[in-house]
């Protein structure tokens, strides 16, 4: 069957508009992008969870009139407006939409634009919400296995040690009022929360031997329930320094975990190298790193076992494939972090299909009953028995379910501005006019 879109003239395709709808639940916000063209084709992309829709909208004036099939050219034009963490969200979301449009214009799936595929289905790993009770956590992971997941992840960390007296050592100047008024355990937990705005080496928080043993017992209980046949990755260790990370890592090595994720900030390459060389479990980081240039210090210094980009931060489909290919040359595989809607999830699927060194893709909404409803694809459910089928339809291989988008609009920003407060989030409806973003208001040239 000839899949070329005879209604499209790719060489004359032009971008005419960009619009946004923010969907989500609770404190999760997923800004979905539509890029419109003069030939009726619409490209879908997504700004990273928690990032402002403005990060994409401020790129609109730089894209109007351009041919979306020139993905590399446009990416080079706009990548200066991205950055590490959520700052890259706009550039990455636009790149996904460009890849969707290029695929639709030529009638091929996005992975073809990225160079072809290595696999027909993508293994996903299921993140699992934190549970205070390790038996409850073990049973939750076991339920994931019963649903066909063959790769798992759970959160462990200093919050477990904080449940017991003497589990952690912490400075007394983070939250003096609560130290005086609260119990020891309560004070420790308030210290942990307060420390989240301080990078790990500078909090002064340390794990005690007693705290490390408590965390170890938690993991042992989980492993006894789940067994050793399935990889279990671990995340959210807390803002502790390198030495506590090493001590904890050595204790947990005996449980043969898939990886220790983001134990320390990604910026500290030499600390990562020291951590990697001190433990026997793979270590990984990368969900907040923008572009291949950001990953090179970790890769070139053999400082991580696994790279872990989030495609909605790292640069989109093509740049993330470049990151995976570069890492593979150094013997380092790639797992993909993902916590968004089905739009960004499917962009990840195409990147994973096109990257030989790929391991597994994170799915963060496997318990959300309406997550699949946001799009229409080639299968009724996106995840089936722990895998996602790589679509053969043009572009990302999905269309939006407009009724579901309307139903699950979410401009609630309480999780980011603080409970009870509000943020000036734009827009509030589904794909409203964004004409006020049409005109360029800066001089973008990066050379003189």
Which CATH number is 387's domain given? 3.20.20.120
What is the mean pLDDT of the segment spanning 352-370?
96
Can you tell me the distance from the alpha carbon of 348 to that of 308, in angstroms, rounded to the nearest whole number? 12
Number of domains in the chain: 2
Among residues 15, 101, 21, the alpha carbon closest in space to that of 402 is found at 21
Residues 6+ apart with CB under 8 A from 288: 84, 85, 266, 310, 313
Sign of the Cα pseudo-torsion (336, 382, 37, 439, in order): negative
pLDDT of residue 170: 84
Residue 149 shares a structural domain with residue 287? yes
- Looking at the DSSP assignment, which residues form a beta bridge with residue 127? 153
Residue bearing the bigger pLDDT, 426 or 42: 42
166: in domain: no
273: in domain: yes
Residue 140 pLDDT > 60: yes
Residue 175 pLDDT > 60: no
Q: 193 pLDDT band (50/70/90 cuts)?
A: low
Residue 332 shares a structural domain with residue 415? no
Residue 40 shares a structural domain with residue 141? no
pLDDT of residue 186: 47
Sign of the Cα pseudo-torsion (296, 297, 301, 305, in order): negative
Domain ranges, residue 101? 10-107+402-437
pTM: 0.92
- Looking at the DSSP assignment, which residues form a beta bridge with residue 310? 337
Residue bearing the bigger pLDDT, 170 or 414: 170
Residue 13 pLDDT > 60: yes
Which 3 state secondary structure label does DSSP give 244? helix
Residue 412 shares a structural domain with residue 366? no
Can you tell me the distance from the alpha carbon of 339 to that of 127, in angstroms, rounded to the nearest whole number? 9
Give, as one character, the DSSP assignment of residue 109.
B
Q: Is 107 left (phi over 0), alpha (psi -120 to 50) or beta?
A: left
Residue 139 shares a structural domain with residue 55? no
Count of Cβ atoms closer than 10 Å to residue 261 Cβ = 24
Q: 441 pLDDT band (50/70/90 cuts)?
A: confident
409: in domain: yes
What is the mean pLDDT of the segment spanning 74-85?
96
Which 3 state secondary structure label does DSSP give 175? coil
Average pLDDT of the chain to the nearest whole number = 90
Residue 32 shares a structural domain with residue 146? no
Residues 6+ apart with CB under 8 A from 210: 161, 164, 166, 167
183: in domain: no
Among residues 96, 122, 121, 116, the alpha carbon closest in space to that of 354 is found at 116
211: in domain: no
Can you tell me the distance from the alpha carbon of 305 to that of 402, in angstroms, rounded to the nearest whole number? 41
189: in domain: no
204: in domain: no
Residue 296 shares a structural domain with residue 415? no
Residue 323 shares a structural domain with residue 354? yes
Residue 57 shares a structural domain with residue 143? no
Among residues 23, 53, 26, the alpha carbon closest in space to that of 375 is found at 23
pLDDT of residue 226: 97
In percent, the amount of the chain with pLDDT more than 70 equals: 89
Among residues 79, 101, 80, the alpha carbon closest in space to that of 92 is found at 79
Residue 443 pLDDT > 90: no
Can you tell me the distance from the alpha carbon of 316 to that of 351, in angstroms, rounded to the nearest whole number? 9
What is the mean pLDDT of the segment spanning 13-41?
94
Q: 264 pLDDT band (50/70/90 cuts)?
A: very high
Residue 388 shares a structural domain with residue 272? yes
408: in domain: yes
Give, as one character, the DSSP assignment of residue 337.
B
CATH code for the domain in which residue 31 is found: 3.30.390.10
Residue 15 shares a structural domain with residue 131? no
Which 3 state secondary structure label does DSSP give 2? coil
What is the mean pLDDT of the segment spanning 199-225?
96
Q: 7 pLDDT band (50/70/90 cuts)?
A: low
Can you tell me the distance from the alpha carbon of 149 to that of 187, in angstroms, rounded to the nearest whole number? 38
Q: 5 pLDDT band (50/70/90 cuts)?
A: low
Q: 180 pLDDT band (50/70/90 cuts)?
A: very low
Residue 263 shares a structural domain with residue 392? yes
Q: Any idea which residue has 């026997």 for tokens?
A: 280
pLDDT of residue 440: 86
- The answer to whether the beta carbons of residues 101 and 53 sit under 8 Å apart is no
């Amino acid at each position: 069957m000839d899949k070329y879109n005879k209604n499209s003239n790719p060489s004359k395709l032009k971008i005419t508009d960009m619009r946004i709808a923010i969907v989500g639940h609770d404190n999760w916000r997923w800004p979905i992008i539509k890029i419109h063209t003069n030939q009726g084709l619409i490209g879908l992309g997504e700004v990273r969870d928690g990032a402002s829709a403005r990060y994409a909208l401020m790129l609109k004036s730089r894209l109007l009139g351009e041919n979306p099939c020139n993905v590399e050219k446009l990416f080079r034009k706009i990548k200066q407006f991205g950055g590490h963490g959520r700052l890259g969200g706009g550039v990455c979301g636009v790149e996904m939409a460009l890849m969707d449009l290029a695929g639709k214009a030529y009638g091929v799936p996005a992975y073809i634009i990225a160079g072809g595929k290595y696999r027909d289905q993508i293994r996903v790993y299921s993140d699992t919400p934190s549970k205070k009770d390790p038996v409850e956590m073990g049973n939750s992971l076991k339920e994931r296995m019963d649903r066909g997941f063959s790769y798992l992840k759970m959160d462990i960390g200093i919050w477990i040690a904080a449940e017991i007296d003497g589990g952690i050592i912490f400075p007394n100047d983070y939250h003096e009022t609560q130290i005086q008024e609260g119990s020891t355990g309560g004070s420790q937990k308030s210290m942990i929360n307060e420390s989240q705005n301080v990078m790990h080496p500078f909090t002064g928080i340390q794990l005690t031997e007693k705290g490390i043993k408590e965390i170890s017992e938690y993991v042992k209980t989980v492993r006894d329930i789940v067994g050793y046949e399935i990889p279990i990755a671990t995340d959210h260790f807390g803002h502790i320094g390198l030495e506590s990370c090493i001590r904890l890592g050595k204790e947990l090595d005996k449980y043969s975990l898939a990886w220790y994720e983001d134990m320390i900030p990604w910026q500290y390459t030499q600390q990562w190298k020291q951590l990697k060389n001190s433990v026997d479990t793979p270590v990984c980081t990368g969900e907040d790193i923008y572009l291949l240039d950001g990953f090179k210090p970790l890769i070139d210094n053999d400082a991580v076992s696994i790279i872990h980009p989030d495609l909605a931060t790292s640069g989109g489909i093509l740049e993330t494939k470049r990151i995976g290919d570069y890492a593979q040359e150094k013997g380092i595989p790639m797992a993909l972090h993902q916590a968004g809607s089905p739009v960004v999830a499917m962009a990840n699927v195409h990147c994973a299909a096109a990257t030989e060194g790929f391991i597994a893709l994170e799915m963060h909404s496997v318990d959300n009953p309406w997550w699949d409803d946001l799009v229409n694809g080639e299968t009724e459910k996106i995840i089936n028995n722990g895998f996602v089928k790589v679509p053969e339809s043009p572009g990302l291989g999905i269309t939006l379910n407009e009724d579901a988008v309307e139903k699950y609009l979410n401009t609630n920003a309480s999780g980011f501005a603080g409970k009870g407060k509000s943020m000036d989030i734009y827009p509030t409806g589904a794909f409203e006019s964004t004409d006020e973003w049409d005109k360029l208001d800066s001089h973008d040239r990066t050379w003189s």
